[in-house]
A and B are shown apart, each in its own frame.
Chain A
Amino acid sequence: EVQLVESGGGLIQPGGSLRLSCAASGFSISSNYMNWVRQAPGKGPQWVSVLYSNGETYYADSVKGRFTISRDNSKNTMYLQLNSLRVDDTAVYYCARGYRAVAEAYWYFDLWGRGTLVTVSS
C-alpha cells in the first residue's frame, strides 16, 4: 500500500528541539519531491520544506535557519529537525509527496500522511 506515516510530534517548550519522521511505503522517497506541510489550528495548510530527488532542499522563510529536512534512503524515511521552536510553530505537521508535471516548475500534493501534532508552549 502506498502511504506516508508521520511520528515524533509532542509538547515542547519554546526554544526546544524536536525531530519528526515520515516513513514511506509503496514508493521510493528518493525519487520524489518530498515535502513537509503544516497546518496551525483552524488555518489553511502552509508549505514548510521540500527535499528534491537530487538532494536539494528549500524552506519557507518562516523556518529557514531553524528547520532541517533530510532523508535516509535505506529506511525510506524523511525527517524534519525542528530547532529554536516558537509558539507560532504549533501545528499539525504533514509529510506530502509532490507531483510535478513535466512542463511545470512546481507541484501539487498527491499523497499525504495523517500528520503529527507539534505543540510549542511553556
Chain B
Amino acid sequence: EIVMTQSLATLSVSPGERATLSCRASQTVRSNLAWYQQKPGQAPRLFIYGASTRATGIPARFSGSGSGTEFTLTISSLQSEDFAVYYCQQYNNWPLTFGGGTKVEIK
C-alpha cells in the first residue's frame, strides 16, 4: 500500500499571503495525484487532479505541481473561504490512499 504523507498537520497563514502544502508518496504515483478541500461538516471537494489540473470551478489562485513522489498545492493569495483542510490522494496504485491532511488556519 502506498502511504501518502502530509508532513504539516497545520499551516498558519495570514489572508492574502501565499500557502504551500506538501504531499509525499512512499513510492512513485507518477502524476496520478488529486487534492481535495474539506470544510467542517462537509464532504471533501475535488480541487486538483492529474497533479496540476484544476477541477471545474476552482479558482486560478490554486495550483498543483509535482510528479513521482513529491507534490505541492499552492494557494497564491489566501482568501477567507480557503481556510480548510486539504487532503491528497493517489490513484496510481491499488488500494487508493489518502494523506492525513493539512489544516490551513488563519494566522
Contacts and interface: CB of A to CB of B under 8 A. Distances in A.
B71 interface: no
A106 B94 contact: yes
A104 B94 CA distance: 12
A108 B34 contact: yes
Interface SS majority for chain B: loop
A44 B43 contact: no
Interface residues of A, number: 22
B46 interface: yes
A106 B91 contact: yes
B66 to A, nearest CB: 15
A60 B87 CA distance: 19
B92 interface: yes
11 contacts: A44-B99, A45-B44, A61-B95, A104-B32, A105-B94, A106-B92, A107-B91, A107-B96, A109-B44, A109-B46, A113-B43
